[in-house]
Amino acid sequence: MPKGKLYFKSALTSGWVDAWERYGLGLEDGSLSNLIAPAPLKKPVSNSNALKHGIACLEDSIGKKDSKSVSLEIHLCAKSDREFIDKFSLLCSEVLGQGYFMLKTSYFPDTVYHMIYQDCQPFQQWNQRMAKFTLSLIEPHPEIHTEI
């Protein structure tokens, strides 16, 4: 992924940082669709009564978004073994290690995704200068897509 396509912001970054320039990160095919997929809806508050047909639902509880699990398949590229370790360590300390961070893409520049880091799967196709791995994230409030 060329620079300027994916951006991160956390408590330890000074504003938005270009993920390619700072960490050597790019999104794999399909990750963008995982990110922009609509959030699931919560089950409405309802009551089933054996004396009535169907169920009764509280109207205010219909159409409320639930948190969304997001799997981002990304790759990290570096020019040397040392640079790879440095970039991965920086990603872990500045972004993932904070637990909460924001991300956005150049494809939808006005949309900010608020994420909670859950897990990082072991590297796939690791050759000391490039690795592919999957980040498991939770978008806790998918109705909020602005910077707060």
CA distances from 77 to 41, 112, 115, 131 (A): 37, 24, 23, 7
pLDDT of residue 29: 85
d(CA 64, CA 39): 10
- Exposure string (b/e) for 94-103, b if CB count within 10 Å is 16 or more? bbbebeebbb
Domains by residue range for the chain, with CATH: 6-35+66-139 (2.40.30.200)
The pLDDT of residue 18 is 96
Predicted pLDDT of residue 3? 60
Contact predicate 102/114, CB 8 Å: yes
Report the predicted TM-score, pTM, of the whole model to 2 decimal places.
0.86
Residue with tokens 């995982």: 34
pLDDT of residue 1: 44
Q: Chunked in runs of 10, what are the mean pLDDT values of the chain (148 residues)?
A: 79 94 93 93 90 89 93 95 95 96 94 97 86 96 89
Which pair of structure tokens corresponds to residue 123?
């590297």
